[in-house]
Structure 1
Amino acid sequence: MSTTAGVGYTDLFRQDRSQPHWAYDYARRLMERHGPERRVVIQTSMSPSGWFHVGNFRDTACAYLVHRALRRLGQDSLILLSFDDYDPIRPSQAARDPELAGYGARPLGAATERSRRICRRYIAELKRMGICPAEADADGRTPADSDWQTHYQHGRYLAGTYVPLQRRYLRAAGRLGKLLGQAPEHLFSVYCEQCGRGGTRTLRLGRDRVRYACDSCGALASTRRTELVKPAWALDWTLRVTHERIDCEPAGQDHCSAGSTMDRTRAIYREYLRAHQPVIVPYGLVRQSSDSGKVSGSRGGGMTLADLMRVMPPRLILFLYGRPNCLSDFRISLDFAPFVAAYDAYDRFLARVRAGERRATALHDLIAGEGEEAGPLPGMRHVLGLLQSHCYDVERVIARLGPAAAERVRHAHAWLAHDSRRRGHRWIDRTSEAEPGDLLVDGDLPERWTRASYRTLYLTLFGTESGPPLRRLEESFGRAGLVAAVRAYADRAERPLRERVLGRLRPGDADAG
C-alpha cells in the first residue's frame, strides 16, 4: 500500500474527541465543508438479503444521530434510506431458501414479494423508533419536502435513473480500472437479457453496448440496455453518491480498512469525479450474546429492532447505540444480566442529564423523543421482581408503582413472557416431580405455616417448590380462590391457578385475570 493510501486510510478514523458527542464532530465537518445553505444528504444503505437485524440498524442509527446533530446546530439535513435490492442473490442462499428457489444470481428485487416484505418490516420498525416519519407510506415514500427519502435500487436501475452516469463510466472504463487497480472488464457485470441472471462474464466494453457470456444459460450476446449493466460495488457507490449528491454515509469498518471500498475510491473522487468523497462515519460491529462474529441476516437468527422494541423504549435503544463511540464494537443481548444492566446504565445516564453533565446532555438532545421520563423510575430488576411476586399481573404492579412506570412494567412483562423462559428466570417454570401432600385443615388453609406446608402449597397450586409469598397469592386470587384451587387438585388433579398465571405470560394475555 502506498504512503498516500495509508494516510487516507488512517484519516477515515480521525475524530475530534473534544466534541460533546461523536455525532457533533461529523456534523461540524459537514457544515464546514458545505456551508449553511446546503441541505446535507446522509445515506444509509443495506441489502435485503434477509431480515434487517441489530447490526444493520447501527448504519441507520449513525445516520440518524448525525442528522439530529446537524439539526441541533441549525443545519438542514435529509436522510436517504437506500435498499440495495439490485444486488444479486447468492446461489447458495437461493438453494437454502425455498422462497428464493429459481432466483439465484437474479436481483434481490426480482423476488418481489419477499423483498417488499423485508423492506416494509424495516420501515415499520423505523417508524416505531421515531426515525422514519409517520407520514411515510408502507414503502417509506414521503412528500418531496420531507427530511426523509427511501429509494429501491432495483426499480431505479431498471427505470434508467443512472443510465447517463453508467454510460459515462463505461466510456471511462480504462481510466477507472487504472485508478482502482482492476481490469476494466471486472468493473461491470451484466444481468443477462435471456435469463435475467447476473452470472455473466464481460467480454468487451463498448461506448454504447456490452458483450457478455452468461454462465447460467449459455447465452453469448451483446446488450445496448445500459440499465442492465451494473457497476461493481465500488463504482456503484460512487455513481449513486454523484447522482444523489450524498454528503455523508455511515460504513462498517470492514468497508473502511486498508484496500477497502472507502479507501480505494478516494482516487475516483479525487482524480476522476473531481469531488469530495462523502464524509464517512465508520462504525464497529454489533455482536449478540456470546457470538464472536457479526450478526448475519441472510443466515438468519439475528435479533431485529422489533425484538428490542418489545422490551425497550426507542430512546433506550438509541442510547445503547449512541453511547459508545461509533468506532467501537459493542454487544447487545437480552439475557438477564445485560438486559438489566442496559436499564441500569440508562437510569444512571438520565441522572447525569438531570445534573446537567455536558456529554450526557449532548447525547440526550440527540435521542430524546416524546414521552421522556420526568423523573427517576424504579430499576428494572425491582420491576421484574414485583411482576414475579405479583404472579405477572401487570395492572396490579402498575397500580403499585404509579402510571409513570407503566411503560417500564409492560416492557419487563414482555421480557418475562418472551425472553426469559428458556433461561429459567420465571418461578412458574421451575416445576418439580414431587407429589404434594394433604394441605387443607377442616376445609381451609392452615393458620400456622411451616416451610413444609409452604412447599406443599406451591406443589399443589403450581407444581413448583417455591413461588411468591402467601400474602401476594391471597392478593392475587383471594383466600377462597386458593382453597378452591387446592380442592381442584385434590379432586381432579387440576391446577387452575397455574393456568391463570401462565395465561398472563402468553402474547396478548398480559392482563389475564
Structure 2
Amino acid sequence: MNNVRGWTRRRGPGARPDRAGYARLFAQDRAAPHWAYDYADRLARRHPADHRILIQTSMSPSGTFHIGNLRDTICAHLVHRALVRTGRRSAVLLSFDDFDPFRQSQAVAGTELAPYGGRPLALARERSTAICRTYLRALKDLGICPPDADPDGRMPVGAAWETHYQWERYTSGTYRGIQRRYVRHADRLAALLGVEDPRRLFAVYCQQCGRNTTTIHELRPDQVRYDCRSCGAFVTTEVMECVKPSWALDWTLRVAYEHIDCEPAGQDHCSSGSTMDRTQPIYDRFLGSDQPVIVPYGLIRQPGQRQKISGSRAGGLAPDDLLRVMPPTMILWLYARPNCLSDMRLGLDRGSVLAAYAGYDRFLSRVPVAPRARKLYELLTDTPVPDGPPLPSIRRVLGLLHATLYDAGRVLDELAAAAPAADRAALAERVRHALAWVSGPGRGTSWLHGPAPAGPGTALLAGGLAGRWDRARHAALLGALFGVASGPPLRRLLDAFTEAEVVDAVTAFDSTGARPLLRRVTDRLDAVSVTGGSRAR
C-alpha cells in the first residue's frame, strides 16, 4: 500500500507493471473519444477506485512563462477533467522549480540578475514571485486554477489543486529524509543511471555565497564536504538542505515523496536517453514502484519560427497574450484539438487568428450533433452547450470595427440588431476580443496603416460636404484626415464625428498639417492596448 508522504509506493494487487519500455511512451488508444480519456483510463486501471490520482505539472521560473509551458499545464488539466468525468478522484499539483539555479548566461545578460548567477531562482524573490503569480492569474482566467486559491496558488490540504515551491520544500527540510536515502545509496543510483562518479548526481549550494559552483569531495547521508570556485570557501556541513539532486534524481525523489501518478512531459524529455527513459531502472529496481503515467506532448512554435519558445530567452507569446484576444474555452480547445503528441503552431498574426476562430466556430456548431465533439467540449468547460444562433464570424466583427473607426459599442449594437436572439454577453465578448487584437498584435492590419494618398487634398471642402463624392475626392478626404488613401466611407465618418468636426479637421490639416481626428482614433486604440483589452477576469 502507499505510504503517506513516504518514499516508496508498492504495486498493489491490481496494478500492472508497464515494462514494455521506451516505445510505449508514445502508444495511444485512438478509439478513445479523446486522448485525455486514454490516459485517464490507464490511470484508473492502475490504481484502486478510492485512490486520489495526483497529476503534476512543473516548470522553472527562469523567465516569463509562455504558451509552451501552458501546454504542460493544460495537458494535466485535461487528464484531470477526464478522470473526474469518469467518476475518479483526482488533483493537479503545480510545482514551481524555483530551487533550480540561475544560468550564468542569464546573469550576465541583465545587470539586475548579475548577483544571482548560480544561485536558486527563488532568491530573486520579487522577480520569481511576479513570474509565478502572473502565470497563476492566467490559469485562474482559463478556469484551471480554482478562483479561491490565494495569489500563490495555495489551497487547503486535500483540495483538487496544490501548488508547491521547490525552494520551500527543500530548504524547510521536507525532503530531508529521502535526500539522505538517495545520498546513502548514491553508488547504486549511479549504476542504475550509468553515471561513473556518484557525486555527479548531486550539486551543493555554497553556504557562504549561495552559488552552485562547488566541487563535492565527500558526500555522506549526514555530512557533505565541498569547496566553492566562486568564493573560495572550503566547507564541511551537516546541512542537507543545500544539496540538490540532479534533475533525473530530483524528479524521481519528488514523485516518490509526493505520490505523483501522472505527469505531462515535452517530447524532448521523452526521447531515447532522456529523463523519462533513463530513470525507469530507478523506479523498477530502487523505488519498487511504477514510473508515473507520462503524457508526452509536442513542441509549440510561433509562425515563422523554427525554434521552440524559450522563456529565459524571452520573446515568446505568454498566456495573457492569448487571453486578451480569445475566450478561455477557445484557448483550451486550441490545445486540446490536436493529439498531444503533435507539434503545434500558435500565433496572433491575422491568418492564425482568423483560422483559429473559424475552426472554433465550426467546432461549436458540431457539439450538439457529434458525440466526439461533445466529449471534447465537456473536457473544456462545465458551461452548457450553446443552443442559440452562432456568433458572427471574427472576420465580420473585425470588418465592422474597421468601418466604425473602432467604436466597440456601435459594433455591438449593430450585431445585436441584426441577430436579436443572440447572446448579447457572448457578442460583447467577441467584440472586445476583436478590438483587443486589432489594437495590439493586429494593429498593422488597420486601415490607419494603409498606403498614403497619391496627392495633397488642399481646398478640399470649400463648399462643405455637399456635392458629388467620387473615389478621388473620398481618397483626398481620408488623406487629409488620416494620411491614408482608403478607409471607412463618408457615412461612417459622419456616424463617428459631426460634419463640423470633419470640416474643422480638414481646415486644420490645410493650415498646419495637423490631424486631430486621427489622434482621436489612435487614442481609442491605444487605450485598449494599454489596459490589456478584454482579458478575462
TM-score (norm: length of structure 1): 0.95
**What do residues 99-140 of structure 1 show as CA deviations (whole Å, max 9, x unaligned)?**
211111111111111111111111111111111111111111
Kindly indicate whether the alpha-carbon contact (under 8 Å) linking 1:439 and 1:446 is maintained by their aligned counterparts in 2.
no
Question: The residue matched to 1:149 in structure 2 has which SS?
Answer: strand
Q: Which region of structure 1 is more displaced relative to structure 2, 374-383 or 432-441?
A: 432-441
Structure 2 match to 1:65? 78
Aligned to 2:510: 490
Q: Which of 422, 427, 435 is equivalent to 1:405? A: 427
> Of residues 415, 418, 436 in structure 2, which corresponds to 1:414?
436
1:2-13 map, 5 Å:
7-13=20-26
User: Residue by residue, what CA displacement relative to the aligned partner does 1:64-120 show, whole Å, maximum 9, x if unpaired?
Assistant: 000110111111111100000001111111111222111111111111111111111
Report the alpha carbon displacement of residue 441 of structure 1 after superposing the two structures with TM: 4.5
- Cα distance change of structure 1 residues 372 and 414 upon mapping to structure 2, 3 Å threshold: farther
Superposed CA offset, 1:224-256 (max 9, x none): 111111111111001111111000000011111
Deviates more, 1:318-327 or 1:491-500: 491-500
Q: Does 1:429 align with 2:442?
A: no
Residue 149 of structure 1, aligned match among 162, 165, 168: 162
Q: Deviations over 1:173-213 (max 9, x none)?
A: 11111100012111111111121111112222223112222
CA distance in structure 1 between the partners assigned to 2:20 and 2:156 by the alignment? 42
Alpha-carbon shift at residue 56 of structure 1 (Å): 0.5
- C-alpha distance in 2 between matches for 1:366 and 1:298: 31
Gap runs ≥5 in structure 2:
1-17, 417-423
Aligned-partner Cα distance in 2 for 1:413–1:71: 36
- CA gap of 1:151–1:263, structure 2 versus 1, over 3 A, is same
- Displacement after TM superposition at 1:305 (Å): 0.5
Aligned counterpart, 1:386: 400
AA of the residue aligned to 2:475 = R
For each residue in 1:27-65, what CA deviation from the matched residue of structure 2 results, as whole angstroms up to 9, or x when unmatched? 011111112201110000000000000001110010000
Match of 1:201 among 212, 215, 220: 215
2:208 equivalent to 1:187: no
**What's 1:220 paired with?**
234
The structure 1 residue matched to 2:391, chosen from 359, 365, 377, is 377
Give the match's secondary structure for 2:55: strand
Per the TM alignment, residue 372 of structure 1 is displaced from its structure 2 partner at its CA by: 6.8
The CA distance in 2 between the partners of 1:491 and 1:216, in whole Å, is: 67
Q: Does 1:164 align with 2:177?
A: yes
The amino acid across from 1:79 in the alignment is: V
Query: Is the 1:485–1:496 contact (alpha carbons within 8 Å) kept by the matching residues of 2?
Result: yes
CA deviations over 1:448-489 (Å, ceiling 9, x no partner): 111211111111221111111122112222334323333333
Aligned residue for 2:497?
477
* Matching residue of 1:438: 459
Partner of 2:288: 274
1:115 aligns with 2:137: no
Aligned residues: CA RMSD: 1.9
Alignment of 1:21-100 (within 5 A): 21-100=34-113
> What secondary structure, in the 3-state scheme, does the structure 1 residue paired with 2:91 have?
strand
Aligned equivalents of 1:508 and 1:348: distance in 2? 29
Offset, 1:494: 2.8
Structure 2 partner of 1:283: 297
Task: Indicate the residue corresponding to 2:488 in structure 1.
Answer: 468
Which amino acid letter does the alignment assign opposite residue 213 of structure 1? D
Q: Cα deviation per residue 1:395-437 (whole Å; 9 max; x = unaligned)?
A: 000001122311111111111101122xx31111225274213
- 1:347 & 1:252 partners in 2: Cα distance? 29
How far apart in 2 are the matches of 1:288 and 1:139?
Answer: 29
Deviations 1:6-43, CA, capped at 9 Å, x for gaps: 95110111111100100000001111111220111000
CA distance in 1, matches of 2:355, 2:123: 43
Between the aligned partners of 1:249 and 1:461, the Cα distance in structure 2 is 57
- Which deviates the most, 211-220 or 116-125? 211-220
**Identical aligned pairs, as a percentage?**
55
Partner of 1:351: 365
Contact residue 287 and residue 293 of structure 1 kept, 8 A: yes
CA gap 1:144/1:420 in 2 versus in 1, 3 angstroms: same
**Deviations, residues 230-286 of structure 1 (Å, cap 9, x unaligned):** 111111001111111000000011111111110111100011100011000000000
Q: Deviations over 1:291-341 (max 9, x none)?
A: 101100001111100011010111111011000100000000001001110
Letter aligned with residue 338 of structure 1: S
Alignment map for 1:286-325 (pairs within 5 Å) = 286-325=300-339
The match for 1:326 is 340
Query: Could you tell me which amino acid in structure 1 is paired with residue 37 of structure 2?
Result: Y
Amino acid at match of 1:394: A
The Cα of 1:380 is off from its aligned counterpart by 0.8
Q: In structure 2, what residue type is equivalent to 1:67?
A: H
The equivalent of 1:360 in structure 2 is 373
Q: Give the corresponding residue for 1:251.
A: 265
**How many residues get paired?**
504
Cα 1:370–1:104 change in 2 (3 A) is same
**Contact 2:68 / 2:299 at 8 angstroms: preserved in 1?**
yes
Q: TM-score, normalised by structure 2?
A: 0.91
* 1:145 to partner: Cα distance: 3.7
- Structure 1 segments unaligned to the other structure (5+ residues): none
3-state DSSP of counterpart to 1:211: strand
Kindly state the Cα deviation for residue 155 of structure 1 after the two structures are TM-superposed.
1.1
1:342 corresponds to 2:356: yes
- How far apart, in 2, do the equivalents of 1:463 and 1:133 lie? 49
Q: What CA distance in whole angstroms lies between the structure 2 residues aligned with 1:394 and 1:56?
A: 33
Q: Which amino acid aligns with 1:405?
A: L
Paired letter, 1:436: G
Q: Which moved more, 1:433-442 or 1:100-109?
A: 433-442
Give, in whole Å, the separation in 2 of the partners of 1:134 and 1:314: 14
